[in-house]
Amino acid sequence: MASNDLRWLQAAVPQLKDYLLSNEIFWNIGIDPQLTLGNLLLAETQVKAAGGDRRLLTEIAAQKKEWPSAWQKKAEREFGSRLRQWTQYLAELSEHPSRYAAQYKTEVRVRTLLELLAGEAPGLSSQLAALDSKLKEMTTSGDFVWGKESEKAFPKGKYWFLWVGVKQ
């Protein structure tokens, strides 16, 4: 997974300044997923955990430092969009657990993006408390959902939602 994230960062980072200074939340970079601050933070987390490309990681930090208000605004806007997406999935999972449980491994990516984005703008994480309570009622402790190669990047305490399974 880290090699895919590294390739993605190599495509995204050269466009980061233009993206940050735009009004767009989603930015086409020619490969999937689109550039968003959340996707950038997710790929950065994976690459850091794998001991990846220092030059790219340094460039990301420099862009964040150079454009702090643009960075924070992107985080806030994407957080709102991802929060709606996650709320919808949890509603579907709550209503039809047997139908939507299999999608948890994919859909929990959105919750991970929310965690990463919440770290970029004060006050956002408080919006997750009610949804996390709902999720805890629907899940039970389990194995890491994304496979061994990503475990190191997402410790169980902070990313508890990646270490659960859906009750059926």
Q: How confident is the model at residue 80 (pLDDT cuts 50, 70, 90)?
A: very high
Whole-prediction pTM: 0.96
Q: How confident is the model at residue 69 (pLDDT cuts 50, 70, 90)?
A: very high
Reduced to 3 states, what is the DSSP secondary structure of residue 155? Answer: coil
- In the prediction, which pLDDT does 71 show? 98
Q: How do residues 36-64 score in pLDDT, each as one tens digit? A: 999 999 999 999 999 888 999 999 999 99
CA angle 41, 46, 48 (to 5 degrees): 90
Buried b (16+ CB within 10 A) or exposed e, 43-73: bbbbbbbbebeeebeebbeebbeebeebbbb
Instruction: Name the pLDDT band for 147 (thresholds 50, 70, 90).
Output: confident
Q: 160 pLDDT exceeds 70? A: yes
For residue 1, pLDDT over 70 is answered with no
- Tokens 């190191």 correspond to 152
Structure tokens at 124: 């956002």
pLDDT digits 0-9 by tens, 101-123: 999 999 999 999 999 999 998 88
